[in-house]
Structure 1
């Protein structure tokens, strides 16, 4: 039960539905095989980062990077705020360059969509509340669920694209704007939390 609870925290913050909306250009442009390769690599990169933070804890920021965790939260919040504002006014996802190999695209997906202040904070929390083995399993479980969800979205999207492209594009635009409201709100929360930590 504790394993599922820990995994669900990270899965909710990864939010594969939101990620699918923001990466819609990638979903449209890549074949299923190419998309699978990119997402598998992005989840692998993210998994390594999450496990490092789960083991090292919050002190990794000060001891390794010589920065405060609060500063990381504020900067991450600003990035997400810009993403949210852009999506609200344009109705489009984030522009990800679809040229290049899986390595290039996977890095663009992993940062900032997966490796973000919220998910890294969750990894630190999982590492501090679970034994190392359980923490690794929880992170792996969350990533597998995220990967499966995004792949299912791609499988549903491709047949609909050929039959109802205009309707699908309109749906993605509307949902993208709605999701952007929550992204912007979450960004403000991250900035406020970072400021509160600095002022303590």
Structure 2
């Protein structure tokens, strides 16, 4: 969760318009920067809004990190003065969190000692390795016919039930064993049932201690 600074608290705003997951917030003073987290009450819960665009001199357009049913015009919005931050570190392994870092696996607080913003600057080119290398996955058909480049991106396309999830599980398992790494699995566009099945498959395959699972917000983030 984003936390409000104790000093120099920025002025609050009010909801001007709600269109699905898009919420426009009006401010009388200075507008919060892009990517700033705003908070408002929605029933008994706190809804986090992330500033995505400035509309003129007095209004910002935000993306809600959860459902907006129940919000009303004129409702107060608190400017936290910070980006959305989530727990990081070894204690996040084996846990499922939503986009604002709250655990959703009914196993209590994450208990991580450190949090970090969800947005970060890309590493400079001078800090990146330019050496071309193959990532050995331990799956022979991939390493022979379609090897993966280390540090690159790969897309797996296929119909339902052809084994995409099984392949991902093997990649997580083999990379953890061969390279000592950990994996972050983001369930973007997954059905609730599929996400639940995947979580239990990870538990059965003993992959959860090497993996952190993340659920996206109400509106798929890019």
Q: TM-score, normalised by structure 1?
A: 0.21
Q: Work out which of the two has the higher radius of gyration on C-alpha atoms and give 1 or 2.
A: 2
Higher relative contact order (CA 8 A, sep 6+): 1
Bigger share in helix: 1
Bigger share in strand: 2
Q: TM-score, normalised by structure 2?
A: 0.20
